[in-house]
Amino acid sequence: MNRLRLIGAFLCAAAVSHAAWFKGNTHTHTINSDGNATSDVVARWYREHGYQFVVITDHEYLTAVAPLNALFARDGQFLVIAGQEVTQHLGRSRDPRDPTNRPACHVNALNSRRVVVPLGGTAGKAFGFAPPEMTMAETYARNLAEIRAAGGIAQVNHPNWKWSVRLEDLLGLPDDTLFEIWNGHPAINNLGGADEDGNIAPSAEALWDSLLSKGRRIWGVAADDSHYFYHLAETPGPKPGQAWVVVRADQLGAESITAAMARGDFYSSTGVVIDEITSTGGAVSLQLNGQPSGPRFLTKFIGREGRVLAEVPGLHPRYAIKGDEGYVRAHVTDSNGLQAWTQPVFVAGR
Ligand SMILES: [Zn+2]
Ligand SMILES: [Zn+2]
C-alpha cells in the first residue's frame, strides 16, 4: 500500500488557530534609494489599495518604519515592515560579448534590523561588486548569512533580470528561502527566453520547479519591485499593485508575517484571489474567489520537473495525491491572464 507522507506548509498551518490572510508586497523602493516617492506616499498607497502590509526594501538603506507605523499602522489592518534590497553584483561579466554586464544577484532582507553591505560595497552607498573570483553561489551564501545575522529572512530577487542567474547559482540556497517567481518590474524577463545562439533561460517559475525537484524547500514569491508612484495610468512601471503575496498568519506583526512566509504559509498572485487552500486527506484543494458570470479559471497542478499532473477548470479545483509526484503545487490562471501560485506540498511516497 502506498503510504503518503505530506510535509506541507499548509498542513503546518492547520495547527494555527484563528489564522487570517494578510495581503502584502515584499519589494518596494522609496526616495531613500531609487524610488520616486517618499516613504509616506508609499505606505499610504499600499494602505489605500487593500494591502495589510508592505516591506520597504530600499537599496542599502533601512528606511525607518516606526514613524511610518505611528502614522499609518492599525492593529490587524495595516503594518509597514523594515527591509533592504542587498544590491549585489558579480565582479566580472560572464558574457564576452557584453563585458560590462556584471550579473546581478540582488537579495531582499525582510524584517531586518540593520543594513547588510554587499560584497565590495561601502556603507551608505548602494550597489557592490564582488571580488572577480567569487561565484554567484558564494555571494548568495555570504549575503544570506548576513541577512540572517541582521535578523531578517531572505528573498532572492528577479533571477532573469539581465539574464543574470542560472540554476547552478541557486543550488546552495538553504531551505525556506523565498524566491521571486514573478516580479512586477516590466524589464525582468519573468518568462525566460532563448537568444539567437540558442541559449535558453528558463522562466523564473521553471527555475523554481528545478529547485523543488532537487528537494529544495524554496517558496515562490510574487512582488512589485515598485519604484514609481505618480501618473500610474501612463507609466509602464515599475509601479505598485502588480504582484503580491497573501500570507496566512495568526496576527499582523512583522515577526508573525515573516515566520509564516519562512514556513511557506502563503500564496502569490497577480490578481487571482484564493479564498482557501487545504492539503489534507491526501488531496490539495483550492477555493477560488469568483462568480459564474465573471472570469473563468484553469488550475494546473504541477509536480516534479514542472510536470502538469492535472488541469482542472472552475472555482473548486482539487487534486488527489498519488504518492509519486515529488511535490504538488497549483498554478491558477484566469481568462484575463491574471495568475496565482500556491506553495508546494512535498510528497514522499513509498
Ligand atoms: Zn533588484
Ligand atoms: Zn528592487
Q: How many Cα neighbours within 13 Å face the side chain of 267? A: 25
For 184-244, the DSSP string reads -STTS-TT-EE-TT--EE--HHHHHHHHHHTT---EEEEE--B---SSTTT--SS-SSS-E
Q: Are both 232 and 329 inside the same structural domain?
A: no
Q: Which three cell numbers stand for residue 1?
A: 500500500
Q: What are phi and psi of 66, to 5 degrees?
A: -60, -50
pTM of the model as a whole: 0.94
Q: Which three cell numbers stand for residue 6?
A: 505530506
Q: Are both 11 and 24 inside the same structural domain?
A: no
91 with 128: CB under 8 angstroms? Answer: no
Q: Which of the ligands is closest to the CA of residue 158? A: 1
Gap between the Cα atoms of 13 and 34, Å rounded? 37
Q: Which of 1-5, 20-24, 26-30, 138-142 has the lowest mean pLDDT?
A: 1-5
Cα-based torsion angle of the residue sequence 127, 52, 13, 28 in order, rounded to the nearest 10 degrees? -10
Gap between the Cα atoms of 329 and 214, Å rounded? 15
29 Cα to the center of ligand 2, angstroms? 7
pLDDT tens sequence across 162-176: 999 999 999 999 999
335 Cα to the center of ligand 1, angstroms? 30
266 Cα to the center of ligand 2, angstroms? 21
Based on its alpha-carbon atoms, the radius of gyration of the chain, rounded to whole angstroms, reads 20
Mean pLDDT within 312-324: 97
pLDDT tens sequence across 8-47: 444 444 444 579 999 999 999 999 999 999 999 999 999 9
276 Cα to the center of ligand 1, angstroms? 31
Gap between the Cα atoms of 222 and 180, Å rounded? 6
311-to-151, 205, 299 alpha-carbon distances in Å: 40, 17, 6
Q: Based on the structure, what is the number of domains in the chain? A: 2
- The answer to whether residue 1 scores a pLDDT higher than 90 is no
158 Cα to the center of ligand 1, angstroms? 7
Name which of 34, 1, 51 is nearest 229 in CA terms: 34
275 Cα to the center of ligand 1, angstroms? 31
Q: Are both 49 and 120 inside the same structural domain?
A: yes
What integer pLDDT is reported at residue 17 of this predicted model? 54
End residue of a domain, out of 205, 230, 264 = 264
pLDDT tens sequence across 206-236: 999 999 999 999 999 999 999 999 999 999 9
Q: Are both 199 and 345 inside the same structural domain?
A: no
- 269 - beta bridge partners? 244, 340
Q: Are both 213 and 348 inside the same structural domain?
A: no
Q: 213 is in which domain, residue-wise?
A: 19-264
Q: Which of the ligands is closest to the CA of residue 84? A: 2
pLDDT tens sequence across 82-93: 999 999 999 999
What integer pLDDT is reported at residue 4 of this predicted model? 41
Identify the band that residue 275 occupies on the pLDDT scale cut at 50, 70 and 90.
very high
172 Cα to the center of ligand 2, angstroms? 22
